[in-house]
Amino acid sequence: MPKTKKIKPNPSGSELHAHRISELMLDKKALDIKIIDVRTITTLTDFFVICTSESEPQSRAITDHVNETMKKEGTASWHTEGYQYLDWVLVDFVSIVVHIFSKKAREYYEFERLWADGSITDIQDKK
């Protein structure tokens, strides 16, 4: 079982951007949002931000909202994959990699289990 902790964000660098992305996911009603800090276990990226979408239109809306808003705020993504299928969309910001899963894909890939050695933060809607 992955370690889960609830912490307040440290407002600096890629961690701040990871929390901003999680807020944008909440705007589009994404479910089960988690930030996984992998800085101490891999050089691939600093953070994964993951969520579950309930439909293809919702996956599209989450992806578009994250990409468009982050770009307007000065942080454009480097690459997006899986947009044509909307089952698992990956948005690469280099130091942050965003994963938007369908329910089926999230259960199948068990992403949190793969990165359980990272520090996992659950994101809750404050409303």
> Any idea what the Cα angle at residue 18 is, between residues 16 and 21, rounded to 5°?
110
Q: What is the distance between the alpha carbons of residues 85 and 88, in angstroms, rounded to a whole number?
A: 7
Q: Given this model, what pLDDT does residue 13 score? A: 85
Structure tokens at 122: 């659950």
User: CATH assignment of 4-123, given 2.40.160.40, 3.40.50.2000, 3.30.460.10, 3.30.70.1150?
Assistant: 3.30.460.10
- The per-residue pLDDT of the chain, averaged, comes to 91
What is the Cα gyration radius of the chain? 13
Question: pTM for this structure?
Answer: 0.88
pLDDT-flagged residues of the chain (< 50): 1-2, 4-11
Question: Which residues have C-beta within 8 Å of that of residue 121, sequence separation ≥ 6?
Answer: 4, 5, 6, 7, 34, 35, 36, 37
